[in-house]
Amino acid sequence: TSLPSTMSTPTVEEIRAASYVGFDSITRQIEHKLLKRGFQFNVIVVGQTGLGKSTLINTIFASHLIDSKGRLESDEPVRQTTEIQTVSHVIVENGVKLRLNIVDTPGYGDQINNEGW
């Protein structure tokens, strides 16, 4: 569709800078600043005992960051856990820092009775 005759297209004029300004390197500057400062991730893992929450976190970050706090054996009694635990780590990869906070909820949902479903 064409513009109505009463509306005009603004004129855009290309101007060459008299000296170097540096806006062509803004993205590199931002990237450099972010990589130097590092990043922070907050992760919460929720699920019943034995689902693999700790394994998932350890696998994603290719490090042993948290221990399994659920039942170690299937015949072990279910633990009633109401304690939310936070573990913090700083992971450095190729000079880039990642501040990682992992919130673990061991035993969450273990006491729910789903027999009525």
pLDDT, tens digit, 9 for 90 and up, residues 19-70? 888 888 999 999 999 999 999 999 998 887 778 888 888 998 888 888 876 5
Parent domain of 54: 38-104
- Looking at every residue in the chain, the average pLDDT score rounds to 81
Residue 17 placed within a domain? no
Confidence of residue 72 (pLDDT cuts 50, 70, 90): low
Confidence (pLDDT) at 40:
95
Confidence (pLDDT) at 90:
93
Residue 74 placed within a domain? yes
Q: How far apart are CA 42 and CA 107, in angstroms?
A: 20
Residue 28 placed within a domain? no
The residue whose two tokens read 């906070």 is 101
Which carries the bigger pLDDT value, residue 74 or residue 106?
A: 106
**CB-CB contact of 101 with 41 (8 Å):** yes
Which carries the bigger pLDDT value, residue 112 or residue 93?
A: 93
Residue 22 placed within a domain? no
Residue 61 placed within a domain? yes
**CB-CB contact of 38 with 98 (8 Å):** yes
Residue 117 placed within a domain? no
Number of domain units in the chain? 1
Which carries the bigger pLDDT value, residue 16 or residue 111?
A: 16
Confidence of residue 4 (pLDDT cuts 50, 70, 90): low
Confidence (pLDDT) at 7:
75
Residue 116 placed within a domain? no
Residue 31 placed within a domain? no
